[in-house]
Amino acid sequence: MQSAKRQQTRTISVHKFGGAALANAQAIENVVKLLARTSGMRVIVTSALAGVTDVLLSVARAAAAGDLARAHADASVLHERHLRVIELTDANDVHLRRFIDESFEQLAALLVTAAHEQTLSARMSDAIISRGERIAAQIVACALRVTGVSAKVVDAAEFLQTDGRFSDAAPDLARTEIFASPLFSPILARGEIAVVPGFIGAGIDNSIVTLGRGGSDLTATVLARVLAASEVTLWKDVRGFLTADPRIVPEARIVAQLDPREASELSYYGAKVLHPRALIPLTLGTTLRIRPFADPDAAGTEIAHGRSVAGSPVRAISAMTAQALVTVAGNGMLGVPGIAARTFGALANGNISVSLISQASSEHSICFTVPEHAAAAAETQLRAAFATELERGEIDSVEVLMGVATVAVVGVGMARTPGTAARVLGSIADAQVNVIAIAQGSSERNISFVVNGESVPCAVRAIHATFRLDKVGGGRTVRRHGADVILMGCGRIGQELLNQIEALPLQEKSVMRIVAVIDTTGFIFQSRGLSANRLKAIAAGKKRGGSIKEISGAHIGSPLDAVRHLAAYALTRPVLVDVSSGDTREPLLSAITNGIDLVIANKIPLAIDSASARAILRDARTNGRQILHEATVGAGLPIIDTAEKLIASGDRILSILACPSGTMGYLFSELGRGRKFSDALRGAMKLGYTEPDPREDLSGSDVARKAIILGRMLGYEGELQNVAVESLVPSTLRAVSLKDFIAQLRTLDDAWTQRVEVASAKGDVLRYCASVTRASVRVGLLSVPRSSSLGSLSGTDNQFVFTTTRYRENSLVISGPGAGPAVTAAGVLNDLLRVVAS
């Protein structure tokens, strides 16, 4: 019977269109065009239009949480969207319109019930989200009919029988076949196309269930199985099954052929391109293809039993985030049979599915991962199951570590290739990612390990590079362009930088796009780049004293959260620009390990302590990252660059004597012109040359930070607290209020006038300087000859005097404007353009 049927229906093909293929009216028309190129008996499976399932879920949650007004409002936006789509296609027919209107009326009624019930049951959730697919199927069928192709919708609830489990139902293949054959045979025999809403099925007692997120893939393979189709094609927004998630690894390549066992392990371990259970129904005679709807001629990936698996032992890498690692440990477990069985029995009782299991050979502990949301339930089940052992101390603990991820490295060729595991683990060790637990299936098709969630991109990229997966398979998948800029800090310098970037000639501006702006409260991110208008609005908000988290569309979180979030996206040549004034060591280190280059104007992370500064510079080097920080010293003047070039060319810098503060420069050039100290300082404040509290400048701490950054370039090993700093704030005025400080400024005038006169009598002037050598870093007041280069400095200009083995008699002097947002931003921009061009 089976073979007769196969004979008869061998030309049946199933085509599934994912949400991305049905994003809008134009996409739907493309689907119709694409189908016009196919022939034979065809069954179409549709997802909901792009993003619709997510919206329906959030609408359902809002209703259940009591916010019925929001739920109705969002539902009506969705209603409008569907109506607009059909208006823009030719599928604008009254029946279809009525179907959509009625669906949303029913949805509104369900929302009222959900609000009444006050919780969102899985049954209610499934009833609500099933609408997305059902409407999409009607739209596609109608769009086909208007082009003269006869198409008929077959609702999945009429044939796709399941175990009835809400939100994650498993199809019952045998029963589904009984219902499906009589429904489809006549339609296909008439040459009509059958259109089926994916993702949904029949539960027990006529309820609607869903097959888990991404479930329309499974609908397609179930249909292929029960109708004995020869081919099933999943039309997606990617060019095929790739060697890794392209959002993490931009170099990911297409895997032309995959064994179903490989594809199944990859999707089970998080490769989002395929529903994890979609391969179960696939029989020997059916080929599954993943193909790009945007390029219907491309072959994509072919998944079929018995395909050759030559080539790299590793085919692809996937990762599953939001996992928890549960460890059951204790000496009493040693050699006691049945502990593992009881552990997993307890979890099965709680309906919790375990994904990775690892047991040390000492049998001292068992650990396994479960989805984070199931961790609490797992712990409760285990504590109950081992209550006696825990009490007797035979089991010491049941521990849960949240926020981990499982990375799976998959390939049937690994079984034949010794040393693969060592190479995998070696590459992630080199990337300085810590492995928390490892498991290798006995089939040797899969090496899985658990890492901290945030290390996933780094680990996946490292393995991808080690096995040269970017050289395997079917060609490039992404076009490269310029660089993606992440702006950390949006104060005076950040705002000025944005203006300067906007003012660049188009050719230079077009090589970069600003994808994120971060402050201490949150971040705004747009992977395709923030528009000039959006950036203007952000800068204006910051200028008014607001913070990022208050801006609509912002994510709330620390700068470290922001970097971790961004790192998970496939940004092109990401560059983090630190123009903030906080302690950014953590986000900078995280950026480095995540493959992000750095441009730094913020002195704190490089000045604060030598170990951190070394770590940032060393990690950047070992990770092959660029790090430019010219603007930390002397704003846009080429100070760091000069020092680096001198050192690189074999010269030795013996000392640097510098006036690196515009504020101090102004103050002392005014004093030199006979102005009173109190008067000159007030003038500096009025001109905006000082911090709001000028004591921050007068204390010398800003100069000390610049000095230590220079010192470390010369090999100075001390800390900031070892720097001798002469503060110009008398100890009696350090603790008083700003107002009192200003009020008492006059009391300082006589002493300053006297000091200036003493210097002047010698032909000298006073300068506030940093004096830097390998052995010492000092910051304070110096009396220098009026005729020297430091003596002739005026206004807010900076000066740096390098004495080196080559420039010993005549020092190398760099001076020029060294303060203020405009020149600092120009220094940052210069660094940024250098990174982009490299």
Question: Known catalytic residue: 509?
Answer: no
Half-sphere exposure of 419 (CA within 13 A, CB side): 4
Q: How many CB atoms lie within 10 A of CB 335?
A: 8
Give yes or no for residue 242 binding ligand ADP (CB under 6 A). yes
Residue nearer to ligand ASP on the CB measure, 303 or 562: 303
Which of 789, 813, 791, 793 shows the shortest CA–CA distance to 802? Answer: 813
Catalytic residue, chosen from 536, 543, 706, 762, is: 706
* 514 DSSP β-pair partners: 485
Binding mask 201-220 for ligand ASP (x = CB under 6 A): ------------xxxxx---
CA distances (Å), 503 to each of 498, 507, 509, 546, in order? 9, 11, 8, 25
Give yes or no for residue 132 binding ligand ASP (CB under 6 A). yes
Which of 386, 398, 380, 400 shows the shortest CA–CA distance to 328? Answer: 398
Among 28, 188, 229, 273, binds ligand ADP (CB under 6 A): 273
Residue nearer to ligand ASP on the CB measure, 214 or 300: 214
Least Cβ distance, residue 160 to ligand ASP (angstroms): 13
Instruction: Spell 55-69 as b/e; 16+ CB within 10 A means b.
Output: bbbebbebbbeeebe
329 by DSSP, 3-state: which? Answer: strand
Least Cβ distance, residue 37 to Mg ion (angstroms): 23
Give yes or no for residue 53 binding ligand ASP (CB under 6 A). yes
> What is the enclosing helix (H) or strand (E) of 302?
strand 301-303
Least Cβ distance, residue 828 to ligand ADP (angstroms): 33
Give 570-614 as a DSSP string: --SSEEEEE---S--HHHHHHHHHTT-EEEE--SHHHHS-HHHHH
CB 605 within 8 A of CB 616: yes
Number of residues that bind Mg ion (CB under 5 A): 2
Chain position carrying tokens 């809008």: 24
Among 197, 201, 203, 214, binds Mg ion (CB under 5 A): 214
> What does 198 interact with, of ligand ASP, Mg ion, ligand ADP, none (CB < 5 to 8 A by kind)?
ligand ASP
Least Cβ distance, residue 564 to ligand ADP (angstroms): 19
Give yes or no for residue 292 binding Mg ion (CB under 5 A). no
Give 710-746 as a DSSP string: HHHHTT----GGGSEE--SS-GGGSSS-HHHHHHTGG
- Token duo for residue 751: 């002493």
Give yes or no for residue 130 binding ligand ASP (CB under 6 A). no
Residue nearer to Mg ion on the CB measure, 109 or 322: 322
* CA-CA-CA-CA torsion sign (757, 759, 762, 768): negative
Q: How many CB atoms lie within 10 A of CB 224?
A: 27
The C-alpha atoms of residue 179 and residue 796 are separated, in whole angstroms, by 85
Among 171, 198, 595, 672, binds ligand ASP (CB under 6 A): 198
Residue nearer to Mg ion on the CB measure, 273 or 485: 273
- Token duo for residue 599: 């441009």
Give yes or no for residue 198 binding Mg ion (CB under 5 A). no
* 236 DSSP β-pair partners: 292
Chain position carrying tokens 């370039």: 713
Among 6, 165, 272, 555, binds ligand ADP (CB under 6 A): 272
Give yes or no for residue 241 binding ligand ADP (CB under 6 A). yes
Among 9, 12, 14, 19, binds ligand ASP (CB under 6 A): 19
The C-alpha atoms of residue 228 and residue 235 are separated, in whole angstroms, by 20
Give yes or no for residue 457 binding ligand ADP (CB under 6 A). no
Phi, psi values for residue 277, rounded to 5°: -105, 10
Give yes or no for residue 410 binding ligand ADP (CB under 6 A). no
Residue nearer to Mg ion on the CB measure, 318 or 669: 318
Least Cβ distance, residue 133 to ligand ASP (angstroms): 6
| E strands in 381-421 | 397-410
Segment 180 to 239, residues that bind ligand ADP, using CB under 6 A: 214, 234, 236-238
Give yes or no for residue 595 binding ligand ASP (CB under 6 A). no
Number of residues that bind ligand ASP (CB under 6 A): 13
Give yes or no for residue 246 binding ligand ADP (CB under 6 A). yes
Which of 189, 166, 143, 116 shows the shortest CA–CA distance to 35? Answer: 143
Taking the chain, what is the end-to-end CA distance rounded to the nearest angstrom?
A: 66
Number of residues that bind ligand ADP (CB under 6 A): 19
Give yes or no for residue 197 binding ligand ASP (CB under 6 A). no
Residue nearer to ligand ADP on the CB measure, 212 or 638: 212
Give yes or no for residue 249 binding ligand ADP (CB under 6 A). no
Binding mask 295-324 for ligand ADP (x = CB under 6 A): ---------------------x--------
- Token duo for residue 685: 């404040």
Least Cβ distance, residue 129 to ligand ASP (angstroms): 7
Give yes or no for residue 19 binding ligand ADP (CB under 6 A). yes
Residues lying near ligand ASP in the complex (CB under 6 A): 18-19, 47-48, 53, 132, 198-199, 213-217
| Residues identified as active-site | 706
For ligand ADP, the binding residues (CB under 6 A) are 18-20, 47, 214, 234, 236-238, 241-242, 244-247, 271-273, 316
